[in-house]
Amino acid sequence: MTLSDVLAKFEPVIGLEVHVQLATNTKIFCGCPTSFGAEPNSNVCPVCLGLPGALPVLNRKAVDMAIEAALALNCTVNPKSIFARKNYFYPDLPKGYQISQYDQPLAEHGYVDIGGKRLGITRVHMEDDAGKSIHDGFKDSSKYSYVDLNRSGTPLIEIVTEPDMRSSDEAYAFLTELKQVLQYINVSTCDMEKGHLRCDANVSVRLRGAEKFGTKAEVKNLNSFRFLKMALDYEIGRQVELIESGGRVIQETRLYNNESGETVGMRSKEHAHDYRYFPEPDLIPLRISSQWIAQVRERMPELPASRRARFIEAYGLREYDAGVLTATRAMSDYFEETAKASGDPRAAANWVMGDLAGLLKGADIGESPVSAANLGRLVALIGEGKISGKLAKEILPKMFANGETADAIIEREGLAQISDEGALTKIIDEVIAANPKQVEQYKSGKTAVIGFLVGQAMKASRGQADPAAVNRILKEKLA
């Protein structure tokens, strides 16, 4: 049964649990650095090692970032939230419990809009991260596992969605939008390779038209958006095949194997009572005033969805172009400054997405050595008729290489556009004399050949001739 056949009969029901590392310099309950790549077990202290008598102290900056993330996801921030101990045993959890939030989280009842559909967010809560277990793969005679506690105590927010997604494509789109929002407000880099964004998916299937949810499985180890989509498609197919053959889906935790493209059973799914949650006795309730929320809201930038809509409305951009230009906050800021400097937003958009993007890709760099003001000036010079678009394409790489302005390059190399009627007439007379065959074709009714003649005139002028003037004078001469 193909995936399309499966989706014709069964409806997937998907919810996500996304763990996001907050971009603080220090951990959530101590002053240890959160820097990535340090020597194993070097960024640790008695608090994140879980030593007896060590007491946690909440990082205000982490709370501030968590509030901003919750507001950006349209959540209601609760005036009071409680930290709790989530008890479980694992080698990389030195305290024997994780400090998290349970029945009184930081924020609730948010949403993200994807393609006209609203996907609900149940809650956003804060917690500390566990350490990292490293297995040597049991190669040869070696059978060791290692524990690095540098990550232990790193501040996280967990974003739990409603089971509102009905396909792997919707889950992929949700994560893409979520990542973009969090990067816009600078609360996380969301670098999946460094574990800054990790996702688990709860997935079940039911017959189309049914109201009751099926039994869900939680799929872990989804360390890329592509693997998330692949894992969900496999798991949906697995559950449907099981049901169709008379079997029964059991509630369990499954791991996704990137190499085989399959999910495999890991353990039976825990219920909340298995963790024996109780309020963290070493931390008082977290109280967030309306003034604090207002301060955070005040400093928040324009969010991606709002900026996309504004670019379409204010600058007349296509939806696709607006999406590309708002992919990152840096790019959208760059485009907007270029558009203002150029006086022609749509032309600016084409240069940012086209020629400049090509140069950045070729150089394999992210930040443009051409300032937005300088690129805007280049686009303005085209609009003013001082240089041709073709000439601008030759000037931009020089600006990219040495950071010079377009005006400086034009003056130094004598590249100003030729608009003088007499000079253009002389060039065109030479082109007509050198191409009698094409002139005859034009006069016999094959008017498309004028494009060739314009091209010859532009070539003769090293691209400096005013194309519109060349076209006009040619037609007058040939008439």
pLDDT tens track for 188-204: 999 998 989 999 999 99
- Is the pLDDT reported for residue 272 higher than 60? no
Average per-residue pLDDT in the chain?
Answer: 90
Q: Is the pTM of this model over 0.75?
A: yes
Residue type, 177: E
Q: What is the pLDDT of residues 171-180, one digit of tens each?
A: 999 999 999 9
pLDDT band at 141 (very low <50, low <70, confident <90, very high): low
pLDDT more than 70, % of the chain: 95
More confident residue, 116 or 123: 123
How many whole angstroms separate alpha carbon 47 and alpha carbon 94? 10
How many whole angstroms separate alpha carbon 280 and alpha carbon 272? 16
What are the chain's domains? Answer: 3-294 (no CATH), 302-413 (no CATH), 421-478 (1.10.10.410)
pLDDT for 69 equals 98
CB pairs under 8 A, 24+ apart, for 468-475?
468/385, 469/419, 469/421, 469/424, 470/424, 470/427, 470/428, 473/421, 473/424, 473/425, 473/428, 474/428, 474/431, 474/432, 474/450, 475/450
* b (16+ CB within 10 A) / e for 104-123: bbbbbebbbebeeeebebbb
Q: What is the pLDDT of residues 44-82, one digit of tens each?
A: 999 999 999 999 999 999 999 999 999 999 999 999 999
Residue type, 132: K
- Is the pLDDT reported for residue 431 higher than 90? no
pLDDT for 432 equals 80
In terms of Cα–Cα distance, which of 115, 87, 219 is closest to 177? 115
